[in-house]
Chains A and B, each alone.
Chain A
Amino acid sequence: MTSSTGTAVVTLPTDEQILITREFNAPKRLVYRAWTTPDLVKRWWSGRRGTMTSVEIDLRVGGRWRYVMAVGSGGGEIAFHGEFREIVPEEKIVTTEVFEMAGVTDADEGAPLNTVTFSERDGRTTLTLLTHCDNKQLRDMILESGMEAGMQEQMDLLEELAISLR
């Protein structure tokens, strides 16, 4: 990595919330673009857990988004979708986020609400992502989703972080 600019910090402000904060070495118009352009989202959203097979973004209030990611070698896919509730270009996006589970076709009722903010200073951007759930159980389930990280992957990441901290 050339210029990793900080590590994601996760805090739990309340029982129903998860807050992620991260700084980027780029102006917010670019961070916003990378966050909202399907072809760009495809390149980062899966992290190192798979590849994005589909990214659809209808960036307007009431518009929908859907991300699909291939995981493992068995052809498995996981998908998320939601609806844009509020959009302030290059400043703020509020969306619902629903994890699609096989056989579950419930409405987006009670879905977590994600609020992303972008603020710039001296050409660098601080991004915050606040996930707000209806209840602690759901919040904890989302946190649990980080559990799938394999040992090897974690080691790779630690190495990468170590390099970026030099």
Chain B
Amino acid sequence: MARAATTTDVFNAVAEPRRRQILDVLVDGERAVNDLARLLGSAQPQVSKHLRVLREVGVVDVRDDGRQRLYRLNGHALKPIHDWVKRYERMWAERFDQLDAVLEELKENEEN
């Protein structure tokens, strides 16, 4: 699967550990950039750069609140990742459904 560049692809956007940390913090509610920098123990310019990438793929939204800008998580944009895991889940669901049938037969054989 070829993937687009970071700027358009949520998979690549969250492939960076720091950016996932930002999302983890935003799960609990919106934050200003200086809050995020403090919580993550990293410099504000770095955090701003990560936030820009996350905003470009729509995972993070921003709003002005008086003098500060607040960043918040847009969980809906993470859906492709969720769907991706779901597909793997389906493959195993198929296997396990077949295994159910095998087990039913083994149980019947034991009873007879």
Q: Which label, helix, strand, loop or mixed, suits the secondary structure of the B interface?
A: helix
Tell me, yes or no, whether B43 is within 8 Å of chain A by CB: no
**Which of A91-99, A101-109, A145-153 forms contacts with chain B?**
A145-153
The verdict on A149 contacting B87 (CB below 8 Å), with A24-B103, A144-B1 known, is yes
Tell me, yes or no, whether B98 is within 8 Å of chain A by CB: yes
Provide the A6-39 mask, 1 if CB < 8 A to any CB of B, else 0: 0111101001001010101110001101100000
Q: How many residues of B contact A (CB 8 A)?
A: 27
The verdict on A149 contacting B90 (CB below 8 Å), with A1-B100, A34-B106, A143-B84 known, is yes
Provide the B58-91 mask, 1 if CB < 8 A to any CB of A, else 0: 0000000000000000000000000011111111
Among A15, A33, A154, point to the contact of B90 (Cβ < 8 A): A154
Among B86, B97, B107, point to the contact of A4 (Cβ < 8 A): B97
Q: How many residues of A contact B (CB 8 A)?
A: 44
In the bound complex, what is the Cα–Cα distance between A24 and B96 (angstroms)? 9
A9 to chain B: which residues have CB within 8 Å? 89
A interface list, Cβ under 8 A from B: 1-5, 7-10, 12, 15, 18, 20, 22, 24-26, 30-31, 33-34, 40, 43-49, 129, 136, 142-147, 149, 153-154, 157, 160-161, 164
Given A143-B88, A146-B91, A154-B90, 9 extra CB contacts under 8 A: A8-B92, A9-B89, A34-B106, A44-B98, A45-B95, A144-B1, A146-B84, A157-B93, A161-B93
B interface list, Cβ under 8 A from A: 1, 15, 17, 84-104, 106-107, 110
